[in-house]
Copies of this chain bind each other. A is one copy, B any other.
Amino acid sequence: MGNCSQGCKDYFSRQKNTNIRLTLPVVCFVWQIAMIILFGVFIRYDKESNAHWVETKAHDNITSDIENDFYFRYPSFQDVHVMIFVGFGFLMTFLKRYSFGAVGFNFLIASFGLQWALLMQGWFHSLDPQTGKIFIGIESLINADFCVAGCLIAYGAVLGKVSPVQLLVMTLFGVTLFAVEEYIILNLLHARDAGGSMVIHTFGGYYGLAISRVLYRPNLHQSKRMQGSVYHSDTFAMIGTLFLWMFWPSFNSAITDHGDGQHRAVINTYLGLASTVLTTVAISSLSQKTGKLDMVHIQNSTLAGGVALGTAAEFMISPYGALIVGFFCGIISTMGYIFISPFLEKTLKIQDTCGIHNLHAMPGVIGGIVGAITAAAASESVYGKQGLINTFDFTGDFKDRTVLTQGGYQAAGMCVSIVFGVVGGAIVGSILKLPIWGDPADENCFDDEMYWELPDEEEEHQESIPPILEYNNHMIHKQQDLSESNFSVEHCES
């Protein structure tokens, strides 16, 4: 951008046009048709969702239908699904006039993203070399939802400042990058990351922050009046917060090992999150003159403990270990909202609408570090011989790996996720800067008016304003004409 001549500058700063009547339908149709074709070529039911299951059962000596992976994972899957659509969607409704965009665009990009994720993750993780097909089952659906989560995190950074077309582009590339970094971290480095501290949160966080940096709007203050919340929008946002918070144990345990793996991941996440709530409240209260609480902190920082346990939840971190992680994450995340976010905006020019740096990026990095330390400290006495092998999957090519080495690879994995987030986000941000995507002007940010047919609110007010006021309105005009009123400013604001 630096070498851009005047003409180029003009090109980028020309009058914004938010008409997306051509681009949005075209992108939706073309991409959806592409999905259908690619699914036709590549995607098939796996053996547990195939009508041949009855033969598989006989062949593998499985005695009961309940052994189908479906019954191990479906409840967790549905909880994750709720987190993706209601959790992320409603968490972002806090702005006074961007609830439609928050919930609606979240809905759109998640629906596209999960299809593309099934393909991308399939190609990288489970393409059958013989048939050239990808066989999907319940675990694939969970992984697709996880992949989408990374992109929704990134949405949080640019909430209110981009068009739905930009979001779709961001999701297309985000899912692609995700599948690659995930392949490197989980398959090549063989790091463990069941709840995605690194793969999902660190990547998603830095991806979004980098995009937001490239799309920096120096005049964003022009839409300052739209950047706050109102009472009811904050209450809506709490729906998102709570569903994320409650179902985070399912998130971190959804794809861990059957039996003790899922069981332990739930306990750790449950405890870590509880601990986070108390320290978030403490710091939030400390930050205000009279100890009042700030809804922004309660809505977001209370979740940091779940993010930070994304890697270690399946390990034997022990219950008090989970509490400690949650303890510090609540503090750090809330402090992030108070001190770091303003710094990022002023100094680094990163405008982070939802504060994903505090909720996902930082806690994600903490989670990666916690995971590396916990892995390096694992021992046969704590896990048992077979337990250690199962938990870290020390089989096949990795059967001779020591826990110390594993700790090193965990740390390496975290670096990969940061690099992919930052570099990927910078590149995708540049693409999104092209003036063809219908993004709003600075003064129209955070306003559903741009992309949604809004209900006519006049109607409501005529309903609910008591008749006397209408009468008043009438009278007051007369009155004003007549009298030398001593009306003063203070009345306006009292």
In the complex, the chain B residue whose C-beta lies closest to that of A485 is B479
Say how many copies of this protein the assembly contains: 3
Most buried by B among A274, A470, A478: A274
Residues on B with beta carbons closer than 8 Å to the beta carbon of A473 = 468-469, 471-472
Indicate whether A266 reaches chain B with its CB closer than 8 angstroms: yes
B contact residues around A213 at 8 Å (CB): none
User: Are the C-beta atoms of A285 and B20 separated by less than 8 Å?
Assistant: yes
Q: Which of A21-29, A172-180, A183-191 contacts B (4 or more CB under 8 A)?
A: A21-29
Closest to A111 in B: B277
Instruction: List B contacts of A138 (CB < 8 A).
Output: 263, 266-267
| Number of residues of chain A lying within 8 A (CB) of chain B | 177
CA distance A24 to B292 in the complex (A): 10
Q: Does A123 have its Cβ within 8 Å of any Cβ on chain B? A: no
Complex interface bits, A189-216 against B, C-beta within 8 A gives 1, otherwise 0: 0000000000000000000000000000
List A residues 463-490 near B (Cβ within 8 Å): 463-473, 475-480, 482-489
Interface flag for A302 (CB, 8 Å): yes
Interface locus among A41-49, A368-376, A409-417? A41-49
* Residues 119-171 of A contacting B (Cβ, < 8 Å): 136-138, 141, 164
CA distance A486 to B476 in the complex (A): 11
Complex A-B, nearest 8 residue pairs according to Cβ-Cβ distance, in ascending order: A21-B291, A51-B387, A53-B260, A65-B259, A111-B277, A28-B282, A65-B258, A39-B320
Q: Is the CB of B323 within 8 A of A35?
A: yes
CB distance from A175 to the nearest CB of B (A): 13
- A319 CB contact (under 8 Å) in B20, B45, B388, B479: B45
Q: Which of B19, B74, B100, B320 sits near A235, CB closer than 8 Å? A: B100
| Pair A492/B468 contact, Cβ less than 8 Å | yes
Check A14 for interface membership: any CB of B closer than 8 A. Answer: no
Beta-carbon contact of A236 and B235 below 8 Å: yes
User: Could you tell me if A228 and B19 are in contact, using CB atoms closer than 8 angstroms?
Assistant: no
Mask: chain A, 357-399; 1 = CB below 8 Å from B; 0 = not? 0000000000000000000000000111011101100000000
**Other than the known A54-B387, A55-B386, A78-B246, what 9 A-B pairs have Cβ atoms closer than 8 Å?**
A24-B281, A28-B278, A28-B281, A48-B259, A64-B67, A70-B262, A74-B262, A108-B277, A471-B491
Given the known A-B contacts A66-B71, A100-B234, A476-B472, are A327 and B36 also in contact in the complex, defined by CB atoms under 8 Å?
Answer: yes
CB distance from A71 to the nearest CB of B (A): 7
A242, B86: Cβ atoms closer than 8 Å: yes
Answer whether residue A271 sits at the interface, using C-beta atoms and an 8 A cutoff. yes
Which of A246-270 touch B at CB < 8 Å? 246-247, 249-250, 258-260, 262-264, 266-267, 270
Instruction: Look across to chain B and name the residue whose beta carbon is closest to the beta carbon of A387.
Output: B51
Is A283 on the interface with B (CB-CB < 8 A)? yes
Q: Evaluate contact between A51 and B468: CB separation under 8 angstroms.
A: no
Q: CB of A333 within 8 A of chain B?
A: no
> Cα distance A475–B477 when bound, in Å?
7
In the complex, A321 Cα to B51 Cα: how many Å? Answer: 16
Pick from B108, B234, B456, B486: contact of A281, CB below 8 A: B108
Scoring A residues 439 to 478 as 1 if CB is less than 8 Å from chain B, else 0, what string do you get? 0000000000011111111111111111111111101111
Residues of B within 8 A of A456 (CB): 228
Chain B residue with Cβ nearest A108:
B281
Q: How far is the CA of A459 from the CA of B234 in the complex (A)?
A: 15
Give the residues in chain B near A453, CB-CB below 8 Å. 288, 292-295
Report if A232 contacts B (CB, 8 A): yes
Asked if A286 and B86 sit within 8 Å, CB to CB, the answer is: no
CB distance from A229 to the nearest CB of B (A): 5
Q: Which residues of B contact A388 (CB under 8 A)?
A: 51
Tell me which of B36, B270, B291, B302 contacts A141 (CB under 8 A). Answer: B270
Is A72's CB under 8 angstroms from B65's CB? yes
Residue of B nearest to A245 (CB): B85
Which chain B positions have C-beta within 8 A of A31?
278
Q: Which residues of B contact A65 (CB under 8 A)?
A: 72, 258-259
Chain B residues within 8 Å of A258, by CB: 65-66, 68
Q: Provide 17 A-B residue pairs closer than 8 Å at the C-beta atoms, listed in order of the A residue.
A: A43-B319, A52-B384, A70-B263, A71-B72, A78-B79, A96-B459, A96-B460, A104-B295, A136-B319, A225-B463, A230-B455, A292-B450, A293-B451, A293-B453, A468-B469, A472-B472, A478-B479
